[in-house]
Amino acid sequence: MKYHHYNKSVRERHLEKLYKGIRRFQDSYYKKERDFFKRLSKGQKPEALFITCVDSRVDPNLLTQSRPGELLTLRTPGNIIPPFGNIEDGNSSAGTLEFAVIELKVKDIILCGHSGCGAIEALYKSAEELKTMPHLKDWLQLAAPVRKMIERNYSKVTPESRQRLTEEENVLYQLHNVQTYPFVDQAVKEERLNLHGWYYDICKGDVYTAHA
């Protein structure tokens, strides 16, 4: 693949809005912050790893009002993190955790779930309903214990309440999975690293927190 410097001659209709955004960025924000980006180009030193869902409505930098370089981000469907030793350690989540904790030495890991999560909704769908998305179906099995716990303890709640309860409980479960990695657990025990569970209500703009 050959890359070209972006210029105003590009006219793909379906991407025009994004290209216009690039132009606004280059003509305004970048020009005002040229020195900042020059410093940023020399390296990064984020103090936190922000783990959240791939949902397009969840923007970690917007939510926390962070500047480029302040947050390392990891996004997965349902903010699911495979536990240590799962998938033969051949997953990008494990690599990102290693990079964040061992190389960048972040001080905090935030795992943030959110309202209206499509992955959590899909957790309750049948195999037949997910047959066109086999990879997603397999991925969601990593959160199956959360579904089973909710079904066991909250069998009479409404579908809406079940969704919210599962989203919230999933944050705590995935945060536990994060700490199954020995280098994470060691950093926590040595008080070099703190783990935080967040839940973001998109409609209200509220963020609820829990500490592991």
Would the pLDDT of 183 be above 90?
yes
- Please tell us whether the domain made up of 44-211 is placed in CATH 3.40.1050.10: yes
Confidence of residue 91 (pLDDT cuts 50, 70, 90): confident
pLDDT score at 77 = 98
Rounded to two decimals, what is the model's pTM? 0.90
Which whole number is the average pLDDT over 43-49?
Answer: 98
Strands 206-211 vs 194-201: parallel, antiparallel or unpaired: antiparallel
Among the listed residues 123, 121, 118, the one whose alpha carbon sits nearest the alpha carbon of residue 140? 123
Would the pLDDT of 87 be above 70?
no
Q: Give me the residue spans of the domains in the chain.
A: 1-41, 44-211
Confidence of residue 86 (pLDDT cuts 50, 70, 90): confident
Residue 71 corresponds to which tokens in the numbers above? 């947050």
Confidence of residue 92 (pLDDT cuts 50, 70, 90): confident
In whole angstroms, what separates CA 170 from the centre of its chain?
A: 13
> Helix 159-179 vs helix 182-189: angle between axes, to the nearest 10 degrees?
80
Confidence of residue 210 (pLDDT cuts 50, 70, 90): confident
User: Tens of pLDDT along 119-154?
Assistant: 999 999 999 999 999 999 999 999 999 999 999 999
Cα separation values, 110 from 17, 33, 93, 187, Å: 31, 28, 14, 15
